[in-house]
Amino acid sequence: RLQREAPFSFLEFNYMILQAYDFLELYRRHDTILQLGGSDQWGNMVSGTELGRRCEGAQLFALTAPLITTSDGKKMGKTAGGAIWLNKEKLSEYDYWQFWRNTSDQDVIRFLKLFTEMPLDQIEQLQKLQGADINKAKIILADQATAMLHGNECLPEIHQTVQNMFKGTGDSTQGLPRIFVTKQDIEEGNGVGFLDLFTKLELTSSKKEARRLIQGGGARLEGEKIENETGALTMADFGDGDKTEITIRAGKKRAGVVELQ
């Protein structure tokens, strides 16, 4: 790093110590002997193997893999805004499917090879798709990746949700992320703020992002554009109790449900 005139910052230096000690404690508590990581973590991981040798006489191992980048050169990682949860309690099956469905045209074939178990000859056939037909490959990628994690059983519900959202058919919202509110929650104060709803549904990562979404015209409540960033969901939106669900959208491809209990 010094030879490349890219010196360590104090924070980076301490991160190596922390990660090395973490590996040592994993060995002590859980007999962990192998740490897996991206190639950018090599130095941190080797420090852990050396600390384990010095403190416990343990033979620990580090295994790295090249970082996966998108076609525009950005790495797929948590610091690049690309991290996704594998636990469906943290990220719904629908949102996981959408993550893969939104793959760029340039990346879809490579990701099919990396993240699915499809035979290469089938993927080569998909490589011949052009124009709008590339979306068929993206759907296959999303289906294959989601089935590997959550099972095939969730796919019909996801497909139905997509059909409902983008083609205006059906009423099912079962595949969408969902939060619950009570009449008391809504009637206390002036309702539940739109900014809070977008962040709780994880349609935006922060209230600031939710505010920008509303200002840009990309936020909708039951198909109607949300104009007021300081506005709130009220019982009137539920038809004073006649409806039990409200659908909120962030752009064209993401939506969530607020359910009245």
> What digits encode the pLDDT tens for the residues 88-121?
888 888 889 988 998 999 999 999 999 999 999 9
Residues 6+ apart with CB under 8 A from 106: 71
pTM over 0.75: no
Give me the half-sphere count of Cα atoms (radius 13 Å) on the Cβ side of residue 200: 14
Give me the half-sphere count of Cα atoms (radius 13 Å) on the Cβ side of residue 222: 11
- 3-state DSSP call for residue 183? helix
Compute CA 91 distance to the chain's CA centroid, rounded to the nearest angstrom.
Answer: 6
Strand order, beta sheet including 245-250:
178-181, 254-260, 245-250, 219-221, 224-225
Contact 154, 93 (CB under 8 A): yes
Average pLDDT (52-69) is 94
Q: What is the pLDDT of residues 120-136, one digit of tens each?
A: 999 999 999 999 899 99
Give me the half-sphere count of Cα atoms (radius 13 Å) on the Cβ side of residue 96: 22
pLDDT of residue 97: 92
d(C-alpha 199, C-alpha 205), whole Å: 6
**CA–CA distance from 9 to each of 1, 26, 220 (Å)?**
11, 26, 44
Contact 181, 258 (CB under 8 A): yes
d(C-alpha 124, C-alpha 114), whole Å: 13
Q: How confident is the model at residue 154 (pLDDT cuts 50, 70, 90)?
A: very high
Residues 6+ apart with CB under 8 A from 96: 84, 85, 86, 88, 145, 146, 149, 150
pLDDT above 90 for 58? yes
